[in-house]
A and B are shown apart, each in its own frame.
Chain A
Amino acid sequence: MVSATTAPPSPHSRENAGKVTAAKAIAQRKRRSQILRTYLGVGFILVWGLAPFYWMVVTAFRDYRYTFDTTPWPTHITFDNFRSALTPRAGNDFMGAIINSLIIGAATTAIALLLGIFTAYALARLDFRGKYVVTGVILGAAMFPTVSLVTPLFQLFTDINWIGTYQALVIPNISFVLPLTVYTLTSFFGDLPWELEEAARVDGATRAQAFRIIMLPLAAPALFTTAILAFIFTWNEFLLASLLSNRSTEPVTVAIARFAGDNPFAQPYSAIMAAGTLVTIPLVIMVLIFQRRIVSGLTAGGVKS
């Protein structure tokens, strides 16, 4: 699959020396057409990933009277849409929603990571009966339909007056963030050079000391990656938040979904695109900076654990 540019000399080539030049020419032509197809594919994938996102950003910067312009570059550039999105008005406090999302995301990530470290250590490192049961429970929890939780939680939180509190959003979010952190960390922990831990224990450290002093620094990148993933997942959550929050605690996803502009009879597309750009830019920057880590975190959970 990966380019055939440097095929090692095969044993056959010595016996069939005459055919080599012809084969070389064919191979070269093949290679050139493959390079061309690769770049066409790369172009397609780039357009796929970026075009709709680009269109959102362009619209966000375009004067709302020209929202449906089809020029592929921004015309009639203005920052009014961002101002309109961020101005608190009846029923819309986008700035507040961003702060809510930050609080909910940080709290959920911190709790899930703390609990996840212990469980992942045990799963990656210790042999015990019922390990598969635990792994199965956690994988099952990750695939669990969120909608099965909302009815009882909605009723419970109404009864105990939790609607409109942060804990009403943080605690249910743990149901899908914790499984994610556990299986991402388990997979990362599995790759750590545990011989160092053995060595520390031979030198007299307890298991806890060995983990804290030797392994935790080595695991830091994995923890960091997992934290990013957990944060992005919480930041993007919508179903739980749409039912369990009120105006004072709603996160950005809910705020965007019911975004209403100044004019009740027109869809405020430009302002929504501006709001969407604001919510997405931090994630895009994170993705660009930590691309390698995020990919390894995502695939570690899915492919290996």
Chain B
Amino acid sequence: MAESARAGGANASGPSLPPQQAGPSLPPQQAGPSRRKRDWRPVYLIAPSMVILAVVIMYPVLRAVYLSFQSDRGFDQDTGRFIDGGFAGIAHYTRWIFQQTTSSLGETISCPPGTLCSNFWESVGVTFFFAGVTVTVEVVLGFWMAIIMSRTFMGRSLLRASVLIPWAIPTAVTAKLWYFIFADQGIANRIMGRQVGWLTDDWAARFAVIISDVWKTTPFVALLILAGLQMIPQDVYEAAKVDGANAWQRFTQITLPLVKPALMVAILFRTLDVLRMYDLPAILHGVSGASPTTTVSILVVADIRQGNFNSASALSTLVFLMIFGVAFIMVKWLGANAIRTQDAERKGA
């Protein structure tokens, strides 16, 4: 398994790599006597990336957490600068989670309809609905596409190039393209011969987002699964055939288990991707709390647009925790522990 995985990878990387004339690389024990000393090279090599990631990710996240516990900044007319509003406790968090806000009289009331905080749980629901439906459809359809693409036929590379096109089109363009397709007089309604309010009706609007996203990313899922399929050595199938396994048995007993690591990575990546989805619904239906396709990311931006940096920070922290939680559960449950197992596999363990 490990051998074939390595060979498959070498072929996929392009023709310029020489064939694997030598066996697995030398075991680390032979790397040299310098290994006994403290080796600083990894530190030098990795530090620059870590520093820049710390600057572009760690700083904003910590700053967002800090901001989320602060009151809104006021604008000082004299200096023309913003001044800090002081500690706010968990008010911004309760605002979202319990959908409560402070009225002008200073009492705690539930968010009036039309305010952003009144849309919190609905947008969480919409986000998870998108994730569930989109990933399910993409994985089923992508699997089928991968199986078709793994067969031998003329123009195979042309087909692979053509499935890359939806992936390569910028999401902003994809959204505009489907905006046109889903227009009242658009081709979608013409083909179906009925008037569906893809951009106005709540559920049609949600499915418009799902359809566009499935169109765009199913090919990517298919390519990931295809890469997994190609790592399966053919002789396993031959052996199963000799033993009398039918096509369905070969699929469930061989293909599925062996393609599982690739499948899990695809599911994990796609789920987290959809949970943070912004571009498609934002461009298709606009950035507002009231849209039926408001995802949590859109809600954050809508809040920023209203100038509520501190409550937007609290919300973005909630989004981060939500996605982190889902990632954690998926890695634990689905065994999508890709890093460790596949690294071990690469080493020939």
User: Chain A interface (Cβ within 8 Å of chain B)?
Assistant: 1-5, 7-8, 10-12, 34-35, 38-39, 41-42, 45-46, 48-50, 52-53, 55-56, 59, 68, 70, 115-116, 118-119, 121-123, 126-128, 131-132, 134-141, 143-156, 159, 171-172, 174-175, 178-179, 182, 187-188, 190-195, 198, 207, 218, 220-222, 225, 232, 235-236, 238-239, 242-243, 252-254, 256-257, 259, 267, 269, 272-273, 276, 279-280, 283-284, 286-288, 291-296, 298-300, 302-305
Q: How many pairs of A and B residues are in contact by the CB < 8 Å rule?
A: 355
Q: Which residue of B lies closest to A126 (CB)?
A: B42
A-B contact pairs, 23 of them (CB 8 A): A1-B250, A3-B152, A10-B238, A34-B151, A49-B164, A49-B219, A122-B42, A128-B39, A138-B53, A143-B269, A143-B272, A148-B320, A182-B49, A238-B283, A239-B279, A276-B176, A288-B161, A299-B12, A299-B226, A300-B9, A302-B262, A302-B269, A303-B227
- In the bound complex, do residue B160 and residue A291 qualify as a contact, i.e. CB atoms below 8 Å apart? yes
User: Chain B interface (Cβ within 8 Å of chain A)?
Assistant: 5-6, 9-10, 12-14, 16-18, 20-22, 25-26, 28, 31, 35, 39, 41-42, 44-46, 48-50, 52-53, 55-57, 59-61, 63-64, 67, 82, 144-145, 147-153, 155, 157, 159-166, 168-173, 175-178, 180-181, 183, 185-187, 190, 215, 218-220, 223-224, 226-229, 231-232, 234, 237-238, 241-242, 250-251, 255, 261-262, 265-266, 268-269, 272, 275-276, 278-279, 282-283, 296-297, 300-301, 304, 309, 312-313, 316-317, 319-320, 323, 327, 338-340, 342-343, 346
- A185, B133: Cα distance in complex, Å: 32
- In the bound complex, do residue B159 and residue A143 qualify as a contact, i.e. CB atoms below 8 Å apart? no
Q: Which residue of A lies closest to B55 (CB)?
A: A171
| In the complex, chain A residues whose CB is within 8 Å of the CB of B39 | 126, 128
Selected contact of A147 from candidates B56, B276, B339, CB within 8 Å = B276
| Minimal beta-carbon separation of A295 from chain B (angstroms) | 6
- In the bound complex, do residue A192 and residue B173 qualify as a contact, i.e. CB atoms below 8 Å apart? no
- A232, B262: Cα distance in complex, Å: 23
- A303, B49: Cα distance in complex, Å: 22
* Residue of B52, B170, B177 ringed by the most chain A CB atoms within 10 A: B170
| Minimal beta-carbon separation of B232 from chain A (angstroms) | 8
| In the complex, chain B residues whose CB is within 8 Å of the CB of A193 | 17-18, 20-22
| Minimal beta-carbon separation of B61 from chain A (angstroms) | 6
| In the complex, chain A residues whose CB is within 8 Å of the CB of B149 | 45
- A7, B265: Cα distance in complex, Å: 32
- In the bound complex, do residue B278 and residue A172 qualify as a contact, i.e. CB atoms below 8 Å apart? no
- In the bound complex, do residue A191 and residue B9 qualify as a contact, i.e. CB atoms below 8 Å apart? yes
* Residue of A147, A198, A253, A294 ringed by the most chain B CB atoms within 10 A: A147
- A119, B228: Cα distance in complex, Å: 26
| Minimal beta-carbon separation of A211 from chain B (angstroms) | 11
Q: Which residue of B lies closest to A299 (CB)?
A: B227
| In the complex, chain B residues whose CB is within 8 Å of the CB of A288 | 161
| In the complex, chain B residues whose CB is within 8 Å of the CB of A259 | 176
- A123, B43: Cα distance in complex, Å: 11
A134/B46 contact (C-beta < 8 A), A38-B151, A236-B171, A287-B164 known? yes
| In the complex, chain A residues whose CB is within 8 Å of the CB of B9 | 187, 190-191, 300, 304
A137/B53 contact (C-beta < 8 A), A188-B13, A256-B173, A276-B176 known? yes
- A303, B20: Cα distance in complex, Å: 20
- A285, B324: Cα distance in complex, Å: 37
- In the bound complex, do residue A267 and residue B152 qualify as a contact, i.e. CB atoms below 8 Å apart? no
- In the bound complex, do residue B67 and residue A152 qualify as a contact, i.e. CB atoms below 8 Å apart? yes
| In the complex, chain B residues whose CB is within 8 Å of the CB of A225 | 14
| In the complex, chain B residues whose CB is within 8 Å of the CB of A10 | 238, 242
Selected contact of B5 from candidates A126, A232, A304, CB within 8 Å = A304
- A232, B220: Cα distance in complex, Å: 14
